[in-house]
């Protein structure tokens, strides 16, 4: 059996005890440097019967899957599988599994880190101190503020629980939010427009799906009240980036904390880097040592279950037929 981890760019899995569990079952190749081009990537992937990608760094399009005749299983780390053409994978009887819930603590913590950085103006204070100043910026507290959560899934519900510990009122919108789930997490369910108009902070935790593309529209962003903040640790496609940038540039929004962008990595001198009221992070929401460990542990468990003929966490069960 040939196993390939194609994109360990954090160099987190060289010598990993989780990866070593695969060695009795075959040959394991771990690549820590990006391929030079498509040809080199396909050459690395072609022998693989089982691939363990790190999140969505390596897309598996229909065109790429055709070039991988040996592939039987894609054991994704993390929940999202937007980088995989599931229809094409299923047609080729390539099973796709994921590791749900493994990045929840890391993303939740970053969301609050961005909120605190914004309302206490931490980046500006740090910069001015390094330049020889002793800034006297007056910040604001999370306590007593209203947080609107977009998407009350595994991450959004944990954000709600933590926000209440900060003393925040929590509003929520989710496509299938029930009254019982809202009560369970102590949130007030509201229509999206009402949430956007009332919240001091809006934090996006919806999944990236065709139905959520552009969900945070120009019209909804225009409903935000002056002094409000916007946090996105989910996916850039959920937000109308032009409308958000314009609202921040004009001062209609007080600030934003952004971990995801339509173009990654951001090129030098990108327009986002010119806004002083925006805190930028490089898609780091999920990247902690603990998350990476949980990712590989779950992905390897999925592989071993598949090899034992008892596949679990299967995203495309039709591929098993």
Cite the active site residues.
235, 264, 283
Q: How many CB atoms lie within 10 A of CB 265?
A: 9
CA distance 79 to 68: 23
CA distance 141 to 164: 13
Are 65 and 40 in contact, with CB atoms under 8 Å apart?
Answer: no
Closest C-alpha among 185, 188, 165 to residue 112: 165
Q: Is 199 exposed, middle or buried (0-12, 13-18, 19+ CB in 10 A)?
A: buried
Closest alpha carbon to 216 in 194, 190, 196, 245: 196
Phi-psi region at 182: left, alpha or beta (left = phi > 0; alpha = psi -120 to 50): alpha
């Amino acid at each position: 059996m040939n196993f390939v981890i194609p994109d360990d760019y954090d160099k987190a899995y060289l010598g990993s005890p989780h990866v070593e569990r695969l060695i009795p079952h075959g040959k394991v190749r771990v690549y820590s440097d990006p391929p030079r081009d498509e040809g080199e990537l396909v050459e690395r992937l072609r022998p693989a019967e089982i691939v363990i990608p790190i999140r969505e760094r390596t897309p598996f399009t229909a065109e790429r899957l055709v070039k991988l005749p040996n592939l039987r299983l894609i054991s994704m780390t993390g929940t999202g599988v937007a980088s995989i053409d599931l229809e094409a994978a299923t047609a080729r009887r390539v099973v796709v599994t994921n590791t749900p819930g493994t990045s929840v603590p890391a993303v939740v913590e970053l969301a609050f880190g961005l909120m605190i950085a914004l309302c206490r103006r931490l980046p500006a204070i740090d910069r001015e101190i390094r330049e020889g100043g002793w800034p006297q910026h007056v910040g604001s507290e999370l306590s007593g503020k209203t947080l609107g959560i977009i998407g009350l899934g595994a991450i959004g519900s944990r954000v709600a629980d933590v926000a209440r510990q900060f003393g925040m009122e929590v509003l929520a919108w989710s496509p299938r939010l029930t009254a019982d789930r809202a009560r369970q997490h102590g949130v007030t369910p509201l229509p999206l427009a009402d949430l956007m108009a009332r919240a001091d902070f809006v934090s996006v935790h919806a999944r990236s799906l065709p139905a959520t593309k552009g969900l945070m529209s120009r019209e909804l962003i225009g409903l935000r009240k002056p002094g409000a903040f916007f946090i996105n640790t989910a996916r850039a496609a959920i937000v109308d980036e032009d409308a958000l940038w314009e609202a921040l540039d004009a001062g209609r929004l007080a600030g934003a904390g952004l971990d995801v962008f339509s173009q990654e990595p951001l090129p030098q001198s990108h327009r986002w880097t010119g806004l002083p009221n925006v805190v930028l992070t490089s898609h780091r929401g999920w990247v902690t040592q603990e998350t990476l460990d949980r990712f590989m542990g779950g992905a390897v468990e999925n592989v071993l279950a598949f090899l034992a003929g008892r596949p679990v966490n299967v995203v495309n069960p039709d591929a098993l037929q």
